[in-house]
Amino acid sequence: MCVINGPRPGGTGRAPEALSGTELFSTMPAEREPEPIALSIMDAARMVGVGRTTIYEAMASGRLPARKLGRRTVILDADLRQWLSSLPAMKSRAA
């Protein structure tokens, strides 16, 4: 049996219209989507903040491994992070 207007366990007993926005969302269970482990070329470029050409150039030089999934080319999250870590550190300018 489903009671639509009755209080829910752990709820405030008030109708949703009487709840503030924060209370309404805080009563809902938090569901987080899992982080992807493989990224498309475009998604990898967006994550890093570079263009697709930069990603393709790193792949062509062998510095950024990529894999084929059917017709799609994907980059593992761990490989993308490793590639970023391997980039040279920026030298600071002495004033």
Of 12-21, 59-68, 72-81, the range with the lowest mean pLDDT is 12-21
Name the least confident of 19-33, 35-49, 57-71, 78-92: 19-33
Average pLDDT over residues 77-92: 94
Q: Which domains does the chain have, with CATH numbers?
A: 38-86 (1.10.1660.10)
Please check the confidence at residue 26 and state whether its pLDDT lies above 70: no
Higher pLDDT, 88 or 14: 88
Task: Describe the strand order of the beta sheet including 67-69 as a list of residue ranges.
Answer: 38-40, 72-76, 67-69
Q: How confident is the model at residue 3 (pLDDT cuts 50, 70, 90)?
A: very low
What number is the average pLDDT over the span 63-70? 95
pLDDT (mean) for 29-37? 81
Which amino acid belongs to residue 84? L
CA dist 27 → 2, 16, 37, 54, 56 (Å):
18, 10, 30, 44, 45
